[in-house]
Amino acid sequence: MSKPISRRQLLQWSGLYSASLLLSSCGSSLGSSEVGQAFEPLNQATQALLLSQKPVSEYPLSAIEPDKLLINTFDQTPQIDPTKYRLQIEGEVNHPLQLSLTDLQEFPLASMVIQHVCVEGWAAIVQWSGVRLRELFRLAQPKSSVRYVYFKSADGYYESWDLASAMHPQTLMAYQKNGQPLSVDNGAPLRLASPIKLGYKQSKWVTQILLTHQLMPSKGYWEDQGYEWFGGL
Amino acid sequence: MTSTTSAKRRKSPPIPTQALLAKIFHWTNLISLFVMLFSGLQIYNANPVFGGREGWHFPSFLTLGGWLGGGRSWHFAAMWFYALNLLWYGLYVLISRRWQKRFASDSDVKALRVSQNAKRKNYALHRIVYTAIVPVLVLSIASGLSMYKPVQFHWLSSLFVNWQILRTIHFIAVPTFILFTFIHSFLALRVGSIRLIRSMFI
């Protein structure tokens, strides 16, 4: 005759079971992508809700931390001839653009001292200067269907952003860092820079900007490995 | 039948009981906090708070997620359970006036200082310890939110002076919670033996 399981025993067993489940998953990525996928919609909606077009408060020039900005690259550092470089803006726009560095430098220079935050946990206060992305969009005239912006880089890196974040007044296509011309390691000739996104969203060596109405299966190099897509700060 | 059992029980000390809502809070807090803790160590390893990339890393059996992206997935899922659990429990404690009966007060501090009764002193110390962890629980959310959204919660993150101080404060929660778990368990055993501990879990 077997005794029926008491509520107490059941609770004890379920407690032990969940504890062992937790311990056995330590050190492995088991379940991580499922958890990420389950909670990304909620986290993303919260981040989109928090996003505002108001400029982020900046730091004084004296706060810049030149040594703290680390170099992260997923593959190789591309060498680009600045005279031959062209930035293409295309997709669902009325006026596709092809801009040389001289063309870009004719736009008013926008400059900001902001905190660059890396997904790895470090941060650096840095000054970026360049062209406001929204200025370029004003010329290209996105169609009303556009919701996403893809950035393609010379090293094969790719990223996608929501349109609202791309239109933020402090989202720049930067060609200067801390008042100096951008170094190749930091993304010369042209990189994305913004205080409202994590570092992996801020592509270096950008050569093509594509405006679309939908996200493609490839959302971004790191996003496709499991980082969250929105990456807002 | 009921009268005989209650007559029997009157001879031994009363069996401690906990409100069901307190038990739900305790379970949810314990599990979500340890998911936060282990996935937090995974995130820590991507760039140690102390020493940066060359700094000491936690061994993989203490980490949850397998890699930085996985650690972040767990961390930013468990944060909802951890934070919302603390929020509803905080409201419940305020509305039910539970804070007046079940948390440390002046009389516990006084008992600790002047009481000759060892039992009363143990009881007071335990109440003070588990009351003192509440601000640490809240501080973890404040420092975590300041790192997760330093721009949208700039008013909050600026209270932590700079990024390194912010990361350090957020990290110090880990040894604090582990130490607390041991002290809290030890004191609970001393105050009410295994029966008190069982009353909170079952």
CA A51 to chain centre: 14
Q: Is some CB atom of chain A closer than 8 A to the CB atom of B31? A: yes
Interchain CB contact of B174 with A (< 8 Å): no
User: B165 lies in a domain?
Assistant: yes
Query: Quick check: is B3 in a domain?
Result: no
> With contacts defined as CB-CB under 8 Å, which chain A residues touch B152?
50-52, 232-233
CA separation for the pair A58, A50 (Å, rounded): 18
pLDDT greater at residue A226 or residue A26:
A226
Q: What is the pLDDT of residues A12-28, one digit of tens each?
A: 656 555 555 555 555 57
- Cross-strand partners of A149: A161, A211
Is the pLDDT reported for residue A7 higher than 60? no
* pTM for this predicted structure: 0.88
Strand partners, A2: none
- Helix (H) / strand (E) element for B37: namely helix B20-46
What are the helix and strand counts (H, E) for chain B?
8, 0
Q: Is pLDDT above 90 for A180?
A: yes
Which pLDDT score, from 0 to 100, does residue A183 have? 95
Amino acid, res. B170: H
Residue B183, token pair as written in the block: 């002290």
Which alpha helices (H) appear in chain B, and where do they start and end?
Answer: 2-11, 20-46, 68-95, 98-102, 106-114, 118-148, 154-157, 163-201
Give B99 or B142, the one with higher predicted confidence. B142
Q: Where along chain A do its domains lie?
A: 54-225
Query: Using CA atoms, how far apart are residues A202 and A186, in angstroms rounded to an integer?
Result: 11
The least confident of A215-219, B16-20, B137-141 is B16-20
- What is the DSSP code (8-state) at residue A2? P
Give the gap in angstroms from C-alpha A58 to the nearest C-alpha of chain B. 10
Would B7 be classed as within a structural domain? no
Q: Is A213 exposed, middle or buried (0-12, 13-18, 19+ CB in 10 A)?
A: middle
List the structure tokens of A190. 């042209």
The Cα A129–Cα A186 span in angstroms is: 13
Touching check for B15 and chain A: CB below 8 Å? no
| pLDDT > 90? residue A3 | no
Size of interface A-B (CB pairs under 8 A): 105
Average pLDDT over every residue of A90-115: 97
Is there a domain that residue B2 lies in?
A: no
Q: In this model, does residue A9 exceed pLDDT 70?
A: no
Residues A73, A157: Cα–Cα separation, whole Å: 9
Under the banding of pLDDT at 50, 70 and 90, the label for residue B3 is very low
Average pLDDT over residues A6-13: 58
Token reading at B99: 């804070």
Note the pLDDT tens digit of each residue in A150-179. Answer: 999 999 999 999 999 999 999 999 999 999
Q: Is B68 a domain residue? A: yes
Residues in chain B within 8 Å Cβ distance of A228:
72-73, 76
Local confidence band at B133 (pLDDT 50, 70, 90 cut-offs): very high
Q: How many domains does chain B have?
A: 1
Matching CATH number, A54-225, of 3.40.50.880, 3.40.50.300, 3.30.465.10, 3.90.420.10? 3.90.420.10
Task: Count CB atoms within 10 A of the CB of residue B200.
Answer: 17
Per the prediction, chain A carries an average pLDDT of 91
B5 exposed, middle or buried (CB, 10 Å; 0-12, 13-18, 19+)? exposed
Distance of alpha carbon A108 from alpha carbon B18, whole angstroms: 66
Cα dist from A113 to A181, A190, A194, A223, whole Å: 15, 18, 10, 27
DSSP state of B202: -
Q: What single-letter amino acid sits at A33?
A: S
User: Looking at the domain assignment, is residue B196 inside a domain?
Assistant: yes
On chain B, the residues whose CB falls within 8 A of the CB of A25 are: 64
Residues of chain A positioned with their CB less than 8 A from the CB of B52: 122
| Section A114-128 average pLDDT | 97
- The whole-number pLDDT of residue B1 equals 42
In sequence order, the 6+-apart residues with CB closer than 8 A to the CB of B41 are B58, B62, B63, B64, B71, B174
A8: chain B residues, CB-CB within 8 Å:
202
The stretch A186-211 carries a mean pLDDT of: 97
Name the DSSP letter for residue B61.
G
Q: Which of B61, B74, B167 sits opposite A32 (nearest CB)?
A: B74
**Cis amide prior to A60 (ω within 30 degrees):** no
Mean pLDDT value of segment A142-148: 97
Inspect the interface and report whether the beta carbons of B77 and A222 lie closer than 8 Å: no
Q: Domain containing B139: what range?
A: 20-201
Test B46 with A120 for CB contact under 8 angstroms: yes
Distance CA(A27)–CA(B136), nearest Å, equals: 27
> What's residue B101's pLDDT?
86
Select the residue of A36, A39, A50 nearest B149 (Cβ to Cβ).
Answer: A50
- Residue A151: φ, ψ to 5°: -120, 125
Q: Report the CATH number that the domain containing residue B143 is assigned in CATH.
A: 1.20.950
